[in-house]
Amino acid sequence: MDHSAYCLRPEFTQSLATRLLAGQSINLISPHGQGRRRTLQDLRHTLGQSLVIYQISMRDYHADIKGFYNELSIQMSHPCLEDDDLAGLFDAIEQSGQQALLILHNFDEIRNRMALAGGYNQAFMQALNSVSHRDNIALLCVGESEYGDYLLQADGTAVSDS
């Protein structure tokens, strides 16, 4: 069934869907109030049964990595994850052979000292970056700003306050 007639931006949504189905990871940058939630809704509708979608609003878990892992575990029907075991979770998805998409909405929320203190450290970011080397997992990070060279120190604190 063609769902594009219901999409806010049909061509854009289809382009995103095609890239995500090909296993590409995407940083979707858009200012507040420009239809990010609707785009995600349309994308979920467009992708339908093509892959398993896990979606988490980082606003809800910006200072609570344990809550993030718990929510992801619930969505995946997977035993509760331990801290810093995101890579292990990605390993499990990869070994299952299922096509999966992880959507992290409001990704900007984990770019502050409170989030860093809450456990979103370099290991977490490295696990997210590892998705680009996995055949059956795509990552869609949705936020308001681009952070091209954002660096973390080993203790999880930001290299700069940018």
pLDDT greater than 70 at residue 3:
no
Higher pLDDT, residue 120 or 12 = 12
Interatomic CA distance for residues 52 and 56, integer angstroms: 13
156 pLDDT more than 60: no
- Reply yes or no on whether the pLDDT at 124 is more than 60: yes
Both 81 and 133 in a single domain? Answer: yes
Q: How many CB atoms lie within 10 A of CB 133?
A: 9
What percent of the chain has a predicted confidence (pLDDT) above 90?
A: 44
Q: Which domain holds residue 32?
A: 1-18+25-47
Q: Return the pLDDT at 160.
A: 52
Same-domain check for residues 40 and 85: no
Confirm whether 160 is domain-assigned.
no
Most confident of 78-82, 103-107, 121-125: 103-107
Residue 29 has pLDDT above 90, yes or no: yes
Q: How far apart are CA 106 and CA 111, in angstroms?
A: 10
Identify whether residues 42 and 106 lie together within a single domain.
Answer: no
Tell me the mean pLDDT in the region 16-29.
Answer: 95
Neighbours of 114 (CB within 10 A): 12
- In this structure, the answer to whether residues 38 and 80 fall within a common structural domain is no
Residues 75 and 133 in one domain: yes
User: What average pLDDT does this structure show over 105-110?
Assistant: 91
Specify whether 42 is located in the same domain as 78: no
Q: Is 61 contained in some domain?
A: no
Q: Is 123 inside any structural domain?
A: yes
As for how many domains the chain has, the answer is 2
Any domain includes 14: yes
State residue 152's pLDDT score: 46
Residue 161 pLDDT class (50, 70, 90 cuts): very low
Same domain, 30 and 90: no
d(CA 151, CA 134): 23
Q: Give yes or no: residues 91 and 133 share one domain.
A: yes
Which residue has better confidence, 156 or 128?
Answer: 128
Q: Do the domain assignments include residue 4?
A: yes
Residue 2 lies in a domain: yes
Could you read off the pLDDT of 52-69 as tens digits, one per residue? 999 999 999 988 998 998
- Position 154 scores a pLDDT of 45
Same domain? 34 vs 75 = no
Listed as own residue / partner, the contacts of 82-90 with beta carbons closer than 8 Å and 24 or more positions apart are 83/119, 84/121, 84/123, 84/124, 84/127, 86/123, 86/124, 86/127, 86/128, 87/123, 87/126, 87/127, 87/130, 90/127, 90/130, 90/131, 90/134, 90/137
Q: Is residue 126 part of a domain?
A: yes
Same domain flag for 41 and 79: no
Query: Residue 91 domain-assigned?
Result: yes
Mean pLDDT of the chain: 84
